[in-house]
Amino acid sequence: MSIRPRRAAASSSGHTLLELVIAVALGLVVVLGALAAYRSQRQAFAYATDAARIHEAGMNALMLIGEQIQMAGFVPADAPAPLAGPAIFGCAAGRAVGTDAAPSCEALTNRSDGIAVRYRGDGVSTWTASNGQATDCLGQAAGAASAEIVNRFHAKASSSTGEPELYCEGTGKVGTAQPLVEGVERLRLRYWLAGATQAVDASALAREQWSAVVAVDLCVLVRGASFPRRTRYVDCEGAQAIGTDGRARQAFWRHVALRNAGAAQS
């Protein structure tokens, strides 16, 4: 009589251990599956957030530069004199430097184009500063009504963070460019002359031809955050490219007509 209970207990113990092993294995499968789903969802969320930031940066850059190009050449009806130079001046693979009267180009290592936009500022063409003066691209006071404003745009890597940014140097503080939009890796600009059948690079224009520019093809290439991945994108030349640094990129295009073409020299 004493043997049977021991056998029953041994049998009951064996079944309980087996069930425990199975339960632990199933629990591990569930946990691993949940972790994989969590990592996948987290990665998808990070990619979506990065894409949204890229899109926002690209649209902001297009808007900021596009509005300035549209304003190029503006002169109020009661202005005492026309502009001292062309409404638009561009640089291929470089940024505009030098004086406003005689701008020149300085090469950029990232091969990004640069552009300088000129117009007269007043309470209509710009937001006014607290002292009533017209403002430049950075909101800096740039002079009394009808003051000539020159805003210079280019893209380069920040010296502090290493991230690419869109910069503007305004008349309010000549010689000091400040960042406007983070993530802008490159600007690509092509120019339309009056009566032309195709746009050309800045390098193809002689100094006296800038006053004949009537429209600009603008492209902004924006770079996202770094992830362990390879990405495909279309660059500002319209060519397929592959990013090997784990960063997504997207190009944004806009055709901008100069609303005041010819007015600056009239």
Instruction: Give just the sign of the alpha carbon dihedral 261, 197, 222, 158.
Output: negative
Q: What is the mean pLDDT of the chain?
A: 87
6 has a pLDDT exceeding 80: no
43 has a pLDDT exceeding 80: no
pLDDT of residue 265: 46
Instruction: Give just the sign of the alpha carbon dihedral 132, 133, 136, 139.
Output: negative
Task: Write the DSSP string, 157-224.
Answer: E-TTT--EEEEEE-GGGTT--EEEEETEEEEEEEEEETT-SS-B-GGG--GGGGGGEEEEEEEEEEEE
Of 55 and 43, the structure prediction assigns the larger pLDDT to 55
Contacting residues for 101 by C-beta, under 8 A, at least 6 apart: 84, 85
One-letter amino acid at 46 equals A
pLDDT tens digits, residue range 180-227?
999 999 999 999 999 999 999 999 999 999 999 999 999 999 999 988
Contacting residues for 253 by C-beta, under 8 A, at least 6 apart: 217, 218, 219, 236
Q: What angle do CA 171, 62, 64 make, to 5 degrees?
A: 30
**pTM of structure:** 0.82
Q: How far apart are CA 127 and CA 137, in angstroms?
A: 10
pLDDT tens digits, residue range 125-154?
788 888 888 889 998 988 776 789 999 999
Residue of 158, 161, 134 whose CA lies nearest to 145: 134
Q: How far apart are CA 82 and CA 54, in angstroms?
A: 39
pLDDT of residue 258: 94
Range 27-31 average pLDDT: 81
Is there a contact between 128 and 143 (Cβ–Cβ < 8 Å)? no
Is there a contact between 128 and 135 (Cβ–Cβ < 8 Å)? yes
106 has a pLDDT exceeding 90: yes
Collapsing DSSP states into helix, strand and coil, what is residue 140?
Answer: coil
pLDDT tens digits, residue range 151-166?
999 999 998 899 999 9
For tokens 């924006």, name the residue: 222
pLDDT of residue 5: 52
